[in-house]
Amino acid sequence: MNPTPVHARPAAPAVASADGPTAIRTEGLRKVYPRAQGDLVAVDGLDLTVEQGEFFGLLGTNGAGKSTTIGMLTTLVTPTAGTAWVAGREVTADPVGVKSRIGVVSQANTLDGALTVMENLAFHGRYFGMPASAARRRALELLEQFGLADKATAKTHQLSGGQARRVMIGRALMHVPEVLFLDEPTAGVDPQARDDLWQIIGALHATGQTVVLTTHYLDEAEALCQRLAVIDHGRLLACDTPDAIKASSGAQTVIAVRYDADAAPAADALHHLPGGPHDVDIDGPTVRVRTTHPDGVLGHLLRAGATADLTVRDAITTPPSLQTAFLTLTGRDYQP
Ligand SMILES: Nc1ncnc2c1ncn2[C@@H]1O[C@H](COP(=O)(O)OP(=O)(O)O)[C@@H](O)[C@H]1O
Ligand SMILES: [Mg+2]
């Protein structure tokens, strides 16, 4: 058995046009779609850097500008302004150089329905200059790696949604790309297929693959991505680790305690919590505290209750989430 993973790549060269081993850099990247009723600014001046080997996510609601951004980075959409370097090449100056160094899995199923699964992969390898035997060998390895060996001779219409996504990822990896772009890779697939895809994508990243993924799923962004760009109406709202985004956006922790009787008699003590100011709400037997400084609050609620002869029935602490962070950043609820 060959111990080398099929997607192992030689170390990618440092990017000549950027500082350090950068996989992607954008400066003021912008896309405006002209429309009769007024131009639509789909991407509004993005400045981003993605390091080699990073798992980077673009998170945003429907229409935020994620696919347009991916389109510009993969040379399919021409920027209106700004610059982007991908794998060391500028996307408008050297689109062929960029294309040869990236793998793209678009939102739509772009498999060739006239071909078998194996042919879809092998033809892609041939297109990128692989000899026929090498293309076939690599295709077989990838299909095996993704649990699709028994689908090699199937036509693509015989695949489930999740299987089709896996084939598309395999196809995108045929020519050993430096950067793998995945546009909403799990949209519309069932939960089991989603787990399988998460596992496959995570394993690819573990071997050093640089991955750029877009998603409108908060949990997917949080589970997979090392860093996230939160995009809304084409603008970058935050770019950091999921934890840092949650912390820096002022997202609040909610601490709720339910006593065995009305908490109003303890209201004075409950309103004087450590580390305030906090937002305290007493509703019958329940006190709910929203705070950016949760340390010591729960202990205080327990002691204040005990002093007032209240017994705790239930206590729940809900830490800040990307959902609450989005609310803080945009002033509105996250509606994918
Ligand atoms: N080819 C296009 N022509 C005109 N408008 C477009 C085109 N592609 C996308 N848009 C618009 O640009 C905005 C961003 O779209 P898109 O990048 O697809 O967002 P996302 O992928 O985050 O859902 C949306 O308002 C969308 O309707
Ligand atoms: Mg999209």
Question: Around 307, how many Cα atoms within 13 Å sit in the side-chain half-sphere?
Answer: 12
- SS3 readout for the chain: CCCCCCCCCCCCCCCCCCCCCEEEEEEEEEEEECCCCCCEEEEEEEEEEEECCCEEEEECCCCCCHHHHHHHHCCCCCCCEEEEEECCEECCCCHHHHHCCEEEECCCCCCCCCCEHHHHHHHHHHHCCCCHHHHHHHHHHHHHHCCCHHHCCCEHHHCCHHHHHHHHHHHHHCCCCCEEEEECCCCCCCHHHHHHHHHHHHHHHHCCCEEEEEECCHHHHHHHCCEEEEEECCEEEEEECHHHHHHHCCCCEEEEEEECCCCHHHHHHHHCCCCCCCEEEEECCEEEEEECCCCCHHHHHHHHHHHCCCCEEEEEEECCCHHHHHHHHHCCCCCC
Range list for CATH 3.40.50.300 in the chain? 22-245
Ligand 2 centroid vs 276 CA: distance in angstroms?
A: 41
Does domain 252-319 bear CATH number 2.60.40.420? no
Ligand 1 centroid vs 65 CA: distance in angstroms?
A: 6
Ligand 2 centroid vs 38 CA: distance in angstroms?
A: 21
- Would you write out the chain's pLDDT as a tens digit for each of its 336 residues? 334 344 444 444 434 444 447 999 999 999 999 999 999 999 999 999 999 999 999 999 999 999 999 999 999 999 999 999 999 999 999 999 999 999 999 999 999 999 999 999 999 999 999 999 999 999 999 999 999 999 999 999 999 999 999 999 999 999 999 999 999 999 999 999 999 999 999 999 999 999 999 999 999 999 999 999 999 999 999 999 999 998 877 778 889 999 999 999 889 888 888 887 788 999 999 999 988 888 899 999 999 999 999 999 999 988 888 988 888 888 788 888
Question: Is residue 33 lining ligand 1, measured as CB closer than 6 Å?
Answer: yes
How wide is the angle at C-alpha 91 spanned by C-alphas 45 and 234, nearest 5°? 25
Q: Which of 148, 153, 149, 180 lies closest to 164 in space, CA to CA? A: 148
Q: What is the Cα–Cα distance from 219 to 195, expressed in whole angstroms?
A: 12
Cβ contact 221:322 at 8 Å: yes
Range list for CATH 3.30.70.2470 in the chain? 252-319
**Burial track 289-318 (b if 16+ CB lie within 10 A, e otherwise):** bbbbebeebbebbeebbeebebeeeeeeee
Question: Is residue 302 lining ligand 1, measured as CB closer than 6 Å?
Answer: no
pLDDT of residue 7: 42
Question: Is residue 66 lining ligand 1, measured as CB closer than 6 Å?
Answer: yes
pLDDT of residue 161: 94
pLDDT of residue 16: 41
Cβ contact 101:23 at 8 Å: no
Atom number of ligand 1 nearest to Cα 183: 21
Atom number of ligand 1 nearest to Cα 71: 17
Q: Which ligand is nearest to the CA of 76?
A: 1
pLDDT of residue 75: 98
Question: Is residue 67 lining ligand 1, measured as CB closer than 6 Å?
Answer: yes
Q: Supply the pTM of this predicted model.
A: 0.83
Residue 24: strand pairing partners: 50, 86
CATH domain 22-245 topology: Rossmann fold (3.40.50)
Q: Is the peptide bond before 277 cis (omega within 30 degrees of 0)?
A: yes
Work out the angle between the directed axes of helices 132-145 and 161-173 (0-180°, nearest 10): 140
Structure tokens at 233: 């109406």
pLDDT of residue 98: 97
Ligand 2 centroid vs 69 CA: distance in angstroms?
A: 9
Phi-psi sector, 45: left (phi>0), alpha (psi -120 to 50), beta: left
pLDDT of residue 253: 86
